[in-house]
Structure 1
Amino acid sequence: MSATMEDDKPEGKQVKDIDLIPRAAPVARAPYCLALSEMKELSEQLQELSDKGFIRPSSSPWGAPVLFVKKKDGSFRMCIDYRELNKLTNEKEHEEHLKAILG
């Protein structure tokens, strides 16, 4: 986990809406196969995020697989594959922001 996260605390309940294309059905992808060591790492990282209040248990019909990328220092970065969700987002909502970033 990032050292910068240790001092970060969620300020109350924050809910972010994602503007989806009309009639988008929930997408739940099957989890990727993880090695036993990766499953242990996943459990530890999820527990840490939960303890800090960044995540909470959910019974959402939406789901995205997780994978790990090894960092230079040997630790693991958790990455969530949101490609299927991204296909359903309304690009117009983010168009101005992307233009500002990309020039």
Structure 2
Amino acid sequence: MNKLLDQAADPIYSQQEETRESSGGDNDYWLLHIPNPKRLEPYTVECEDIIEAMEMTFQEGEAFKALFRKCKIRMGDGKPGDSELRCSEKVAHFGQRMVVMDQRKVEKHTCSHSTH
């Protein structure tokens, strides 16, 4: 029988999947335990805390979150329904937005220092 149908019929599996469902809110896939840090005691980091502490722009934060999710998928703890390909596409999209924005900054800086 189809594995997906078997899983959907299993009440325990359905309940587990329901709790891991992507809600747009706080989820365990945003957490990462660091068991053997270089200098600190073991700790757990949250993706959003890194984004805020580093004062990332929207585009940087979205690219970082996509990389974070991609790695969590490989670790077996990814966002339900997500894929490594989708995460890579998001990194590329937001990376291209960062390139455009940085080019505008360079052009603005160059124009303000040119002698017309």
TM-score by length of 1: 0.26
Larger radius of gyration: 2
